[in-house]
Chains A and B, each alone.
Chain A
Amino acid sequence: MLAWTIYLSFLGAAMAALAPKDRPTIARWIALTTSVLGLGIGLAGILHQTNRSALQTIVDVPWIPAIHARYLLAADGISLTLVLLTGIAAVAGILFSWNITHRANQFFAFYLTLIGGVYGVFLSFDAFLFFVFYEIAIIPKYFLVAIWGSTNKEYGAMKLALYSFVGSALVLVGLIATYAHAGSPTFSLLELARQPLPTSFQVWVFPLVFVGFAILAGLWPFHTWAPTGHVAAPTAASMLLAGVVMKLGAYGALRVAMPLFPEGLAAWRDPLALLSVIGILAGAGIALIQKDFKFVVGYSSVSHMGFVLLGLMTLSVTGLSGAVLQMFSHGIIASLLFAVVGRMIYDRAHTRELSALESLQLSRALPFAAITFVLASLASMGLPGFSGFVAELQVLMGAWKTFPLYAALAGIGILIGVAYTLRVLVKAFFGQSNGTIEAATHENYAPISIPERIGALLLLGTSLLVGIYPRVLLDLILPSFETPLMKPLLKGAGL
């Protein structure tokens, strides 16, 4: 049943593309219906999951016999968590692009293609299929940014696409080499993980595949696509970029790179943990001095994704489940932050310069946006009650055992996070008025629309639910580390 998330999205994309160009409403409703159905299927898939500790195969048929590639879709708790995230982010993204009228049918067609590709990645257990879906997800991004973007959009789109393709190229080389080296030719992740590859081979292939994926997760110093890409992208696309696409990278690293090359991982673990911590600190530090609101959020994504990568490097259940939880949490919170900046503010005030926003006193004009952003900032700062707290706490608990120094440094990252978040919060919403301008300007702002309100409540509610009762996700995630694919990861890491 879960496979229908993919097919429905592609079907919706086709329908949206065929919808009349001059009547955006039709395309909108097609997109919303499809994405809500996708979310519903994801939820139903979670509720009907029979055996939590096993990998559930959905489809397994030969696909390209010549290279032994199979059409193998399956799901464990990690996939389900991310499928759920994709569903929520997709629905929210459509709600926040309700005002798109320029070539709306194409916009939603690209949007749904991207979503379908993402669902496909999260459900693939065949490396070749995984790669194909991964590429499908990358291409629409370019068009979304280049056509509907703002600020320097061609540059941002091109940079985004090039980084993605460089990553893909690295992954592809690694996968082909692995295929060639494997004892019996196969692309099935489970089969590949079962065949021990020579250590010397793993040591050079692991970094190719891991970094190839981690580029998309914002691994420092390969992260610079993220801020520019986010800034250039239209609201919905930056929500998806931060909310879902960055997770593709982290997921690929966790699902493909780490289980296939355990010895390569062992060799590269320390430097990669260091890079993650540098990412946390550098991202936060840079966010602190940005002048453009969206850049602040963009860099904060780099910082928060550093926690995911650090969690992955702990190789303990605590850290790994924390990393998956952080993927989910950051997906929700970052989407919300981008929605506030891109849709609620930029579409009305037509500026994102903090110095310009400062004099607009937006908390008076747009109280709903202000409250949403206050709550989203609290979530982003990792305040208890929101999902970020439990996720980052788990990552830190896991990291403390292996990398106490890095855990401490990551703590400093959280601290800088508080500083930059409060800074933008005050500047963007609670600035000083210099007199006369705002009364007239405020009149021109359209009130916050119903789709925006629903979208904001959906995302905030999710973050609160997970923050207060993390078991809704952890009960899904934890058994996944018992499957034959993930279990060997924890070997010798304790806890």
Chain B
Amino acid sequence: MPSIVNYLWLIPALPLLAAGMIALLKQRHRSLSASLSIGSLAISLGLSIAAFVPTLGPIEGGGGVKRWVHNLDWFEFGNTTLRLGWVLDPLTAAMLVMVTFVGLLIFIYSVGYMAHDENAARFFCFLSLFAAAMLGILISNSLLLLFMSWELVGLASYLLIGFWYHKPSAAAAAKKAFITTRIGDMGFLLGLLWLYGETGTLLFYDNGNGCLEQSALNRLNTLTTAGGMGVATAISLLLFCGAAGKSGQVPLHVWLPDAMEGPTPVSALIHAATMVAAGVFLIARVFPLMDVDPANVAGSSTALSVVTWVGAVTAVFAALIAVGQNDIKRILAYSTVSQLGYMMLGLGAGGVAVGMFHLLTHAFFKALLFLGAGSVIHGCHEEQDIRRMGGLRRQMPTTFLTYAIGMMALSGVPLLFSGFWSKDEILHAASVWPVSRLPFYLGLFGAVLTAFYMTRQMFFVFFGKQHLGKEAHESPTVMTIPLVILAIAAVLVGFWGTPAWPWLHAYLTGHELHLDLSALAKSATLMLISTAVVALGMISAWRLYTRKTPSSPQALDPLEAAQPAVFGVLKNRAYIDEFYEATVIRLNHLLSVTSDVLDRFLWNGLVQLVSLMAIALASVGKALDQFVINLGFDGWCGGLKQGARGFARLQNGQVQSYLRVIGLSLVALVVVLLWERRR
């Protein structure tokens, strides 16, 4: 076992330590806090690379992937012990390197972006906390530790979205994000409880006793729930709820676009590259469990079929909405939702390697796009509406070039750009999915839309007439250098996974790697199709927006002019928020009010009733006392008093009376005695 495994915990611990230290600093130590964050993450990056290297070597004994775990007891209850631990395997290692690398660039970029914010130190504290929690998710070898880190990620995201809490929209967005993802997390928690109930462990890998290892999976495979659904399927679906919340899958996607209220580096780091990918990572991590299904008839387990369908629907739905948006970050946000859908589609239809490939390429080019958008916003004096921009390619050349690379990677422009290769893998997997062909067509349609909305955005921002009132300026070097590095990465990472040289696939699944140029020829048809699809999207957008140039920011979008009804729905985000407002939130409110009324009137009323009854009873008692018992008592007393008065009168102290009495008594006595004698 490589010694780095024992020190893997340092990777999240260092940023956590940095967060703690910054929390104790005063707000004015901004450069010290920035250095602490950046320094700790840089060491984590070094450690991640050190952890990455041993996973690369050839596999001893052949078969399977390299995997080392380190487990420890957390606490015990009864005769069971709750154990936590961390794992090093290709999945973890690849993600660690990606997150620390992209994270580091974004941290550096933030130095420039937050230069004028008075709370920059707090910002770096939260960023470090986020990095710690995210890295914790990646190294977890226990569903419980993963869940705990997962919650902390949610917290960090809440804090960062609401960073500018004095903006009401930011405060509301933060709350919405936290609560929406928590809805999914409840599913996650229940899945966790159920899994623990069935397998008695939450460790993923534990020398054959983990819940993702064969014996546990075999056991789960034999169990079915009351409704005939496999227990493994039910657990998987519950876990998927959590993943869907975090990764913004329909119908829990509503929080992600609103989350753009946070500072742009946050959007890049959390809501593009890393946190939202956590859901995809979770599914990849528990993939062996998702794959178990006793009723596996269609060639795909029920759980994975659900993942595929949800992914495909999300991919298209979010891309459609992106077409109708005018805020530069919101377009990217919906694009993220859509791409996350692609990742889920890839995971469900093609397995871990396919989904993870897109996750990794997307992390680079989407971080690039967000940072580019941040640069644009920064250069345009906090303007975010693309209709008010225009012609920026001359003022912001570096941003323009790097943004164009990101845009082409996202749209999937052939051969040179990473998004092409990873999306192609997904489409390939979908085209041979045994259950249905529809996700494949949805994926193609989504690709058209992606090319369309990105071209539309490019056109509004960088081409055409300039609408911005003030002079735009290029961003400082500390912001553009990360853009350039990310742009290079956005091109290069694609070559890890071409059909001819599927390095990432081999690395993640432990297969042998061959250079096979003939594979390129085999997938040529698909590549041609997807090229045609991208071209269709880009050309139609280009034609639409050059021919009917909107003359001013207030003018109607050409699409809106053509199809006002459809565009209106898209612009208003398909009214999903309003729908939730009218159903879920109102229902919850109703229940709360009912309970409150119940408390105030029913229970309290009962209490009042009881006390009234007690008072009534008391009054009866009082009446009884007064009129029945007292009457008797008083009557008796009165009689006594009367009697006493009578007797008292006898002794009134007058000698005459006494003598009279004595005399009378004597007479009476004599009379009585005489009477006796006569008898």
Does B associate with A?
Answer: yes
Which residues of A are in contact with B by a Cβ distance under 8 Å?
Answer: 159, 162, 221, 223-224, 227, 281-282, 285-286, 288-290, 316-318, 321-322, 378, 383-385, 389-390, 394, 396-397, 400-401, 404, 407-408, 411-412, 414-416, 418-419, 422-423, 426, 430, 432-433, 469-471, 474, 478, 481, 495
Complex-state Cα separation, A320 to B604, whole angstroms? 31
Given A397-B193, A495-B78, A415 and B175 contact (CB-CB distance below 8 Å): no
Given A159-B607, A316-B78, A426-B171, A418 and B592 contact (CB-CB distance below 8 Å): no
Contact B148 A385 (CB under 8 A): yes
Selected contact of A286 from candidates B162, B196, B592, CB within 8 Å: B592
Given A396-B189, A397-B196, A411-B190, A478 and B76 contact (CB-CB distance below 8 Å): yes
Closest A residue to B167 using CB positions: A432
Selected contact of B183 from candidates A285, A407, A415, A426, CB within 8 Å: A415
Instruction: Name the segment of B422-430, B557-565, B594-602, B668-676 touching the other chain.
Output: B594-602
Complex-state Cα separation, A400 to B197, whole angstroms? 7
Contact A412 B186 (CB under 8 A): yes
Complex-state Cα separation, A72 to B231, whole angstroms? 51
Selected contact of A383 from candidates B75, B152, B189, CB within 8 Å: B152
Contact A289 B592 (CB under 8 A): yes
Contact B588 A285 (CB under 8 A): yes
Contact A471 B599 (CB under 8 A): no
Contact B592 A407 (CB under 8 A): no
Which chain B residues border A223 with CB–CB below 8 Å?
Answer: 603
Contact A396 B193 (CB under 8 A): yes
Complex-state Cα separation, A474 to B74, whole angstroms? 11
Contact A430 B171 (CB under 8 A): yes
Selected contact of B592 from candidates A288, A389, A408, CB within 8 Å: A288
Complex-state Cα separation, A404 to B193, whole angstroms? 9
Contact A432 B168 (CB under 8 A): yes
Selected contact of A394 from candidates B77, B168, B596, B598, CB within 8 Å: B77
A317 to chain B, nearest CB (A): 3
A308 to chain B, nearest CB (A): 16
B587 to chain A, nearest CB (A): 11
Contacting A at CB under 8 A, from B63-81, are 74-80
Q: Which 5 A-B pairs have the closest CB atoms?
A: A317-B78, A384-B148, A285-B592, A282-B595, A400-B193
Which chain A residues border B75 with CB–CB below 8 Å?
Answer: 390, 469-471, 474
Complex-state Cα separation, A495 to B76, whole angstroms? 12
Complex-state Cα separation, A411 to B80, whole angstroms? 23
Please report whether the interface of chain B is mostly helix, strand, loop or mixed according to DSSP. helix
A-B pairs with beta carbons under 8 Å apart, 10 shown? A221-B602, A281-B595, A384-B147, A400-B193, A401-B197, A418-B178, A426-B171, A430-B165, A474-B75, A495-B78
Closest B residue to A228 using CB positions: B604
Contact B599 A286 (CB under 8 A): yes
A435 to chain B, nearest CB (A): 13
Q: Does B591 contact A (CB under 8 A)?
A: yes
Given A286-B595, A289-B589, A470-B75, A383 and B190 contact (CB-CB distance below 8 Å): no
Given A224-B604, A384-B151, A430-B165, A289 and B593 contact (CB-CB distance below 8 Å): yes
Given A384-B148, A422-B175, A470-B75, A411 and B186 contact (CB-CB distance below 8 Å): yes
Complex-state Cα separation, A471 to B77, whole angstroms? 9
Selected contact of A418 from candidates B77, B182, B599, CB within 8 Å: B182
Complex-state Cα separation, A322 to B168, whole angstroms? 39
Closest A residue to B189 using CB positions: A411
Complex-state Cα separation, A383 to B148, whole angstroms? 8
Given A418-B182, A422-B179, A383 and B155 contact (CB-CB distance below 8 Å): yes
Which chain B residues border A289 with CB–CB below 8 Å?
Answer: 589, 592-593, 596
Contact A422 B151 (CB under 8 A): no
Q: Does B9 contact A (CB under 8 A)?
A: no
A127 to chain B, nearest CB (A): 27
Which chain B residues border A316 with CB–CB below 8 Å?
Answer: 78
Which chain B residues border A317 with CB–CB below 8 Å?
Answer: 77-79
Contact A318 B77 (CB under 8 A): yes
Given A286-B599, A418-B179, A495 and B592 contact (CB-CB distance below 8 Å): no
Contact A286 B596 (CB under 8 A): yes
Given A383-B152, A400-B193, A422-B175, A282 and B598 contact (CB-CB distance below 8 Å): yes
Which chain B residues border A384 with CB–CB below 8 Å?
Answer: 147-149, 151-152
Selected contact of B595 from candidates A285, A322, A408, A423, CB within 8 Å: A285
Which chain B residues border A383 with CB–CB below 8 Å?
Answer: 151-152, 155
B437 to chain A, nearest CB (A): 36
Q: Provide the B620-658 mask, 1 if CB < 8 A to any CB of A, else 0.
A: 000000000000000000000000000000000000000
Q: Provide the B154-198 mask, 1 if CB < 8 A to any CB of A, else 0.
A: 010000001001101001000100110011001001100110110
Complex-state Cα separation, A401 to B195, whole angstroms? 11
